[in-house]
């Protein structure tokens, strides 16, 4: 059986404020190669470039990665605000369509950080633009120095920051074989209202939704709010997530053979 091919969504970026490119963090690609033993294939987060139907005819699964841009509030009937920029409306269009199509076709779908948020919005849920502003919530954004700059040490930025309590008897709890895990935290936006088919699989100690799945999906359809791609080669929790995604890819390959 051939190695599975995993589509990895790109993010709009400008180099030298002149050249428009599509960009994917290399940790996502290495997680797919090292842990899933699959071939990552970046596709553009732009509807003018990416034909979703043609893409899903080629890949065996999809990873919706994290990104700096927030999902545009008009996607869940809210008003945008300059303080919640940047946005990436082209990625929104592709990611939401991919989420729905993957679930409908039983193609394994793994959402990470922004990817979890996109999955929620695709199935009718809403987001809060700055989850730390809600009463009782902690600051889930990445650590910064006193001068406001992002901390230069990746070990600090991606360090485990808070616990997540898994839903008893849930898919994630059964997969990981435990009740509580500890994860990193690098996000501002977060789930406010879960979508109609969105099932909560894990919640942070402050009530923030940290893991979801799509109910009645015929294939793997799981999203996590933390950056599982950072260290799945050595982190046992994140390794199990990517291994489960890989097992779903190969099961789909066998079923189609």
Q: Which residue numbers are catalytic?
A: 113, 227, 229
SS3 per residue for 87-102: ECHHHHHHHHHHHHHH
DSSP-assigned beta bridge partners for residue 5: 39
Tokens found for residue 120: 């929620």
Pairwise CA distance, residues 21 & 203, whole Å? 35
Cα→Cα distances 220→71, 107, 163, 184, 212, Å: 23, 7, 24, 23, 11
Inter-residue contact 183 to 235 (CB < 8 Å) = no
Pairwise CA distance, residues 220 & 130, whole Å? 29
Radius of gyration of the chain (CA): 17
Tokens found for residue 53: 């139907």
């Amino acid at each position: 059986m051939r190695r599975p091919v995993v589509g990895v969504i790109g993010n709009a970026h400008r180099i030298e404020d002149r050249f428009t490119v599509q960009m994917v963090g290399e940790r996502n690609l290495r997680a797919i190669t090292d842990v899933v033993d699959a071939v990552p294939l970046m596709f553009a987060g732009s509807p003018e470039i990416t034909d979703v139907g043609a893409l899903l005819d080629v890949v065996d699964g999809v990873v919706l990665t994290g990104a700096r841009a927030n999902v545009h509030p008009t996607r869940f009937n809210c008003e945008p605000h300059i303080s919640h920029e940047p946005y990436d409306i082209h990625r929104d269009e592709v990611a939401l369509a991919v989420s729905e199509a993957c679930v409908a076709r039983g193609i394994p779908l793994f959402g990470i950080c922004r990817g979890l948020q996109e999955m929620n919005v695709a199935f009718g849920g809403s987001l809060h633009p700055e989850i730390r502003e809600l009463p009782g919530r902690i600051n889930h954004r990445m650590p910064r120095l006193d001068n406001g700059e992002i901390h230069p040490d990746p070990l600090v930025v991606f360090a485990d920051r808070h616990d997540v309590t898994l839903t008893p008897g849930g898919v994630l709890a059964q997969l990981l074989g435990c009740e509580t895990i500890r994860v990193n935290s690098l996000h501002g936006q977060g789930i406010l209202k879960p979508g109609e088919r969105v099932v909560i699989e894990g919640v942070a100690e402050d009530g923030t939704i940290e893991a979801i799945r799509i109910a009645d999906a015929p294939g793997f359809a799981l999203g996590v709010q933390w950056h599982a791609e950072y260290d799945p080669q050595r982190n046992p929790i994140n390794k199990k997530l990517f291994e489960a995604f890989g097992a779903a890819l190969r099961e789909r390959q066998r079923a189609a053979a």
